Chain A
Amino acid sequence: QKEVEQNSGPLSVPEGAIASLNCTYSDRGSQSFFWYRQYSGKSPELIMSIYSNGDKEDGRFTAQLNKASQYVSLLIRDSQPSDSATYLCAVKEEGGSGGSNYKLTFGKGTLLTVNP
Chain B
Amino acid sequence: NAGVTQTPKFQVLKTGQSMTLQCAQDMNHNSMYWYRQDPGMGLRLIYYSASEGTTDKGEVPNGYNVSRLNKREFSLRLESAAPSQTSVYFCASSDPGLNYEQYFGPGTRLTVT
Contact with B along A88-110 (1 / 0, CB 8 A): 10101000001111111011110
In chain B, residues 29-47, which have Cβ atoms closer than 8 Å to a Cβ of chain A? 31, 33, 40-43, 45
Among the stretches B12-20, B70-78, B79-87, B97-105, the one at the interface with A is: B97-105
Among the stretches A9-17, A45-53, A71-79, the one at the interface with B is: A45-53
Interface of A is mostly: mixed
Most chain B beta-carbon contacts within 10 A, residue among A46, A51, A101: A46
When C-beta atoms are compared, the residue in chain B nearest to A100 turns out to be B56
* Distance in angstroms between the alpha carbons of A88 and B35 in the assembled complex: 14
Whether A49 pairs with B58 at a CB distance below 8 angstroms is no
Which of B43, B48, B99 is close to A44, meaning CB atoms less than 8 Å apart?
Answer: B43
Does A69 touch B at the CB level, under 8 Å? Answer: no
Which of B51, B101, B102, B105 is close to A99, meaning CB atoms less than 8 Å apart?
Answer: B51
Whether A98 pairs with B50 at a CB distance below 8 angstroms is yes
* Distance in angstroms between the alpha carbons of A46 and B3 in the assembled complex: 13
Whether B90 pairs with A99 at a CB distance below 8 angstroms is no
Q: A103-B45, A104-B100, A108-B42 are in contact. List 15 more A-B contacts (CB 8 A).
A: A32-B99, A34-B101, A43-B104, A43-B105, A44-B43, A46-B102, A88-B43, A92-B100, A98-B50, A99-B31, A99-B48, A99-B50, A99-B51, A102-B94, A106-B43
